[in-house]
Chains A and B, each alone.
Chain A
Amino acid sequence: LVGFWPPDNLQGTKKLIYDCYAVLSFMFLQGVYLLAQIADLIVIWGDLPLMTATSFILFTNLAQAVKFINLAVKNKMIRRIVNDCDQVLGNVQTEEAKRIVRRCDKDTTVQLVAFFSLTLFTITGFATSAERGHLPLRAWYPYDTSKSPTYELTFVHQVYALFVSAFLNVAKDTMVTTLIAQCHCQLKLIGLSLRTLGKDLEVDKSHLLSPKQGELIRSRLHKCAMQHQRALDVAQQLQLCFSEPTFAQFNVSRIIICVSAFQLVSATNNMVRLVSMGTYLVNMCFQVFLYCYNGNQLSEESSDISVAAYFSPWHTMSPSIRRELIIIMVRSKRIARITAGGFTTLSLASFMAIIKASYSLFTLLKQVNDGD
């Protein structure tokens, strides 16, 4: 809609026009905003409460800008991942597999809806919390904003930019997290097919499979191994595509959470503002949580492949088939992780670490402020 995801069939000059539109849109939404806020920051340097008031939106927008750039650059690769995932998940056959896909789908939808509604709530709170004659968010403009019609124009620009960029943010984040969740779903399906390796095969009293049954199991196992390779490949590509923006997001989130908490504590007398700051804080935490939760699910599921292989009726298989199973188990010992810039893996433990780091920054900020 806003120029960032060109439809598949744009070619040639049309594409160029679309790209220009994208750049313009970006400038209008983000660029103006960023510049204004950075200028404001420079003007009020040293006054902590005011600084925090400006910076909490500024940093979010910075992170967004990074993500936009990343999206534009890695467009093709991302598109390919999306298509591949769609294909794999759409081809499931058995009832059990369909149920797994449906449940994963429901999980991601719930996350999306929660994130969306939180954002909606926060933004509405912000927009309506503006005091008479003041703009909702602090920024420095080269003209005087208290006179109308400049006041009205700037107000409208801020509100519009706020809404659209917030929803874009939601969309971008949920795209990444949903892709990770889809990879997790793929691995779950592989686990299912490993567990039911001996489905519909009657084992006779010698507790050993007949050679013909053994061949059938072997072909099923080979299919599983190929699927496993493909899923791990997808995880690798996700890592390549989204590692840097996630790193930027995490660093920014640390600062944002601490700054929003500070804003919340040095409360203004505006009730709506207080509530919307609170929900903003929750929103930011939820954003980071979404990434970490999905990354954690992916890692866990990749190590569960080994358990799924163990749950297959391997004691009925001949040693040569067992050895193939062992190779799969050995590979799944090394978990598939998504890292943020190579520094932190996406996991619930790193989520706790981010919260702790923000909290320490917050206490530090409070100390510095109280000391002044």
Chain B
Amino acid sequence: MMTKVKTQGLVTDLMPNIKLMQAAGHFLFNYHSDNSGMSMLLRKVYSSVHAVLIVVNYVCMAINMAQYSDEVNELTANTITVLFFAHSVIKLLFFALNSKSFYRTLAIWNQSNSHPLFTESDARYHQLALTKMRRLLYCICGVTVLSVASWVTLTFFGESVRFIANKETNETMTEPAPRLPLKAWYPFNTMSGTMYIAAFALQIYWLLFSMAIANLLDVMFCSWLIFACEQLQHLKAIMKPLMELSASLDTYRPNTAELFRASSTEKSEKVPDPVDLDIRGIYSTQQDFGITLRGAGGKLQTFGQPTPNNPNGLTQKQEMLARSAIKYWVERHKHVVRLVASIGDTYGTALLFHMLISTITLTLLAYQATKIDGVNVYAFSTLGYLTYTLGQVFHFCIFGNRLIEESSSVMEAAYSCQWYDGSEEAKTFVQIVCQQCQKAMSISGAKFFTVSLDLFASVLGAVVTYFMVLVQLK
């Protein structure tokens, strides 16, 4: 009976994703419950077998491309396919080489601070993040399966030929080629018979697994971004009660009788008992919790006798409460900043490669798209490639953009609370937060570009411009 592996933080949230990645053959060897030498070896063998198969088939496709590079159309089509699947090979290699930094990023959220006043809000936003991550995973898995299915279906339509350039007459002829989803060179004859079925099955497996490899890694990246965004939402949501808590340093006055009763008890103890200063101890009284129960917060100026230690009119316990809440907010925000920095370090280079290859692919696709002459297999396949590639870029651009928006809106949330009622400490807190959050947190592709919707817009614009220019030239 396998014991459930004890995971915490991000790993627990991303477990389905991690399991799928392990199934698809990524070199992901942590987070198993059973870490004995034998099963470790088995898993390594499993991943290596997948890796070898994927790379071998990829090389076969490349050989095919080199073989038939005389005719322009054939060459372009083959180049697009080869580039398309370069993503998978690169991502597989990238993960294998960089798995340490992936593990580090996943482990960053293992210990997070907590505060009794804010646990409910924390849990709520955590749950939101979890739902969104699951939904994204299902969506992308569905899209992958759908794409593979439609690819295989499309293979059975149209003529199964390849273009050859006749050297003498310099015109293109067609030559029959095996009806397989991908054009690749195999050392055996795949025109018909058992070899054909074997090659077909291999290609279906290959299509599914290589698309899954690329997409699952992207999903992990986007899930991290979703998590970071929801944490920022949580921080924004608790800004108002936090400010009211420290605004209470000047103006909170729940109930006259209560206040007097409390101050009289507080006045008697000049130095609070150190044992009682445990967080639970501070919040044990109803009065202390009265602030959260109060919703809008008291706005009456308290003119009761000021307690000896605090000119603000607050008991020492309430001041400590306010300070501990601020400490929670600041520590949590720093934790999010560290998480985002780690995400950027881990995945930035992969994004750079992805964008480079996608740019070249999209340029070639724009050229191919000018040759569409009707509703046929060619049109469907070109449009399919186009939407898939643009979709991949859109996928991480939209989440990168959301992160940028969320992180810069923290400053607005800090301003829109009632900072003018707060103490000096609260005001300087707002000031420092505004300074820090003016510059939005963003993910950059190894510092060359920022991942945002601007990037997607420029890519899309470039493709459209290129397409228009080529159409004109025809």
Interface residues of A (CB under 8 A from B): 205-208, 296, 300, 303, 306-307, 310-311, 314-316, 318-319, 322-323, 325-326, 329-330, 333, 348-349, 352
Given A307-B337, A310-B334, decide whether A205 and B320 contact each other with a Cβ distance below 8 A: yes
Chain B 331-351, CB-CB to A under 8 Å as 1, else 0, gives 000100100000000000000
Among the stretches B103-111, B202-210, B432-440, B465-473, the one at the interface with A is B432-440
B323 closest partner in A (C-beta) = A207
How far, in angstroms, from A330 to B316 measured CA to CA in the complex?
A: 33
| Interface contact B429-A315, CB-CB below 8 Å | yes
Given A207-B323, A208-B323, decide whether A296 and B447 contact each other with a Cβ distance below 8 A: yes
Contact of A206 among B323, B432, B435, B438 (CB under 8 A): B323
14 A-B contacts, Cβ less than 8 Å apart?
Answer: A205-B274, A207-B327, A300-B447, A303-B439, A306-B439, A307-B436, A310-B432, A310-B436, A311-B337, A314-B330, A315-B330, A323-B428, A333-B435, A333-B439
| Interface contact B323-A329, CB-CB below 8 Å | no
Chain B 318-331, CB-CB to A under 8 Å as 1, else 0, gives 01100110110010
How far, in angstroms, from A314 to B447 measured CA to CA in the complex?
A: 29
Q: Which of B325-384 contact A (CB under 8 A)?
A: 326-327, 330, 334, 337
B436 closest partner in A (C-beta) = A310
Given A205-B277, A207-B320, A207-B327, decide whether A329 and B448 contact each other with a Cβ distance below 8 A: no
Is there a chain A Cβ closer than 8 Å to B258's Cβ? no
Q: Which of B446-474 contact A (CB under 8 A)?
A: 447-448
Which chain B positions have C-beta within 8 A of A303? 439
Which among B428, B429, B447 has the highest number of chain A CB atoms within 10 Å? B428
Is there a chain A Cβ closer than 8 Å to B424's Cβ? yes
| Interface contact B447-A206, CB-CB below 8 Å | no
Q: How far is the CB of B325 from chain A (nearest CB, A)?
A: 10
Is there a chain A Cβ closer than 8 Å to B240's Cβ? no
How far, in angstroms, from A325 to B431 measured CA to CA in the complex?
A: 11
| Interface contact A348-B447, CB-CB below 8 Å | yes
| Interface contact B334-A326, CB-CB below 8 Å | no
| Interface contact B316-A333, CB-CB below 8 Å | no
How far, in angstroms, from A352 to B326 measured CA to CA in the complex?
A: 43
| Interface contact A326-B431, CB-CB below 8 Å | yes
Contact of A329 among B277, B424, B432, B447 (CB under 8 A): B432
How far, in angstroms, from A89 to B409 measured CA to CA in the complex?
A: 39
Is there a chain A Cβ closer than 8 Å to B288's Cβ? no
Which chain A positions have C-beta within 8 A of B334? 310-311
| Interface contact A326-B432, CB-CB below 8 Å | yes
Pair count A-B, CB < 8 A = 64
Q: Which of B106-137 contact A (CB under 8 A)?
A: none
How far, in angstroms, from A325 to B428 measured CA to CA in the complex?
A: 10
Given A205-B274, A310-B436, decide whether A319 and B427 contact each other with a Cβ distance below 8 A: yes
Which chain A positions have C-beta within 8 A of B323? 206-208, 315
Q: How far is the CB of B238 from chain A (nearest CB, A)?
A: 15
| Interface contact B424-A352, CB-CB below 8 Å | no
Q: How far is the CB of B226 from chain A (nearest CB, A)?
A: 23
Other than A206-B319, A333-B439, A352-B448, give 12 A-B pairs with Cβ distance below 8 A: A207-B320, A296-B447, A303-B439, A306-B435, A306-B439, A307-B436, A316-B327, A319-B424, A322-B428, A322-B432, A325-B432, A326-B435
B282 closest partner in A (C-beta) = A205
Q: How far is the CB of B322 from chain A (nearest CB, A)?
A: 9
Which chain B positions have C-beta within 8 A of A325? 432
Which chain B positions have C-beta within 8 A of A207? 320, 323-324, 327
Which chain B positions have C-beta within 8 A of A307? 337, 436
Which among A307, A315, A319 has the highest number of chain B CB atoms within 10 Å? A315
Is there a chain A Cβ closer than 8 Å to B34's Cβ? no
How far, in angstroms, from A180 to B337 measured CA to CA in the complex?
A: 27
How far, in angstroms, from A309 to B324 measured CA to CA in the complex?
A: 20
Which chain A positions have C-beta within 8 A of B316? 206
How far, in angstroms, from A300 to B429 measured CA to CA in the complex?
A: 25
Given A208-B323, A311-B334, decide whether A326 and B428 contact each other with a Cβ distance below 8 A: yes
The 10 lowest CB-CB distance pairs between A and B, nearest first, are A322-B428, A207-B323, A319-B424, A205-B277, A329-B435, A319-B428, A310-B436, A315-B330, A315-B327, A315-B326
How far, in angstroms, from A325 to B433 measured CA to CA in the complex?
A: 12
Contact of B425 among A296, A310, A319, A352 (CB under 8 A): A319
Chain B 75-114, CB-CB to A under 8 Å as 1, else 0, gives 0000000000000000000000000000000000000000
A310 closest partner in B (C-beta) = B436
Which chain A positions have C-beta within 8 A of B432? 310, 314, 322, 325-326, 329
Which among B326, B435, B447 has the highest number of chain A CB atoms within 10 Å? B435
Q: How far is the CB of B281 from chain A (nearest CB, A)?
A: 10
Which chain A positions have C-beta within 8 A of B428? 319, 322-323, 326
B446 closest partner in A (C-beta) = A348
Which chain B positions have C-beta within 8 A of A208? 323
Which chain B positions have C-beta within 8 A of A205? 274, 277, 320
B428 closest partner in A (C-beta) = A322
Which chain B positions have C-beta within 8 A of A316? 327
Q: How far is the CB of B258 from chain A (nearest CB, A)?
A: 23
Which chain A positions have C-beta within 8 A of B324? 207
| Interface contact A333-B438, CB-CB below 8 Å | yes
B433 closest partner in A (C-beta) = A310
Q: How far is the CB of B445 from chain A (nearest CB, A)?
A: 10
Which chain A positions have C-beta within 8 A of B429? 315, 322
Which chain B positions have C-beta within 8 A of A318? 425
| Interface contact A206-B320, CB-CB below 8 Å | yes
| Interface contact B436-A329, CB-CB below 8 Å | yes
Q: How far is the CB of B246 from chain A (nearest CB, A)?
A: 12
Which chain A positions have C-beta within 8 A of B436? 306-307, 310, 329
How far, in angstroms, from A333 to B323 measured CA to CA in the complex?
A: 27
Which chain A positions have C-beta within 8 A of B337? 307, 310-311
Q: Which of B270-321 contact A (CB under 8 A)?
A: 274, 277, 316, 319-320
How far, in angstroms, from A235 to B81 measured CA to CA in the complex?
A: 48
A329 closest partner in B (C-beta) = B435
Q: How far is the CB of A330 from chain B (nearest CB, A)?
A: 7
Which chain A positions have C-beta within 8 A of B327? 207, 315-316
Q: How far is the CB of B217 from chain A (nearest CB, A)?
A: 24
Q: How far is the CB of A265 from chain B (nearest CB, A)?
A: 18
Which chain A positions have C-beta within 8 A of B330? 314-315
Q: How far is the CB of A344 from chain B (nearest CB, A)?
A: 16
How far, in angstroms, from A314 to B436 measured CA to CA in the complex?
A: 12
Which chain A positions have C-beta within 8 A of B424? 319
Q: How far is the CB of B453 from chain A (nearest CB, A)?
A: 18
Q: How far is the CB of B439 from chain A (nearest CB, A)?
A: 7
How far, in angstroms, from A279 to B183 measured CA to CA in the complex?
A: 35
How far, in angstroms, from A323 to B431 measured CA to CA in the complex?
A: 9
How far, in angstroms, from A330 to B432 measured CA to CA in the complex?
A: 10
How far, in angstroms, from A207 to B325 measured CA to CA in the complex?
A: 10
Which among A314, A316, A319 has the highest number of chain B CB atoms within 10 Å? A319
Q: How far is the CB of A353 from chain B (nearest CB, A)?
A: 12
A347 closest partner in B (C-beta) = B447
B319 closest partner in A (C-beta) = A206
How far, in angstroms, from A202 to B438 measured CA to CA in the complex?
A: 31
Which among B316, B319, B330 has the highest number of chain A CB atoms within 10 Å? B330
How far, in angstroms, from A306 to B277 measured CA to CA in the complex?
A: 33
Which chain A positions have C-beta within 8 A of B448? 348-349, 352
Which chain B positions have C-beta within 8 A of A329? 432, 435-436
B338 closest partner in A (C-beta) = A311
Which chain A positions have C-beta within 8 A of B439? 303, 306, 333
Chain B 242-284, CB-CB to A under 8 Å as 1, else 0, gives 0000000000000000000000000000000010010000000
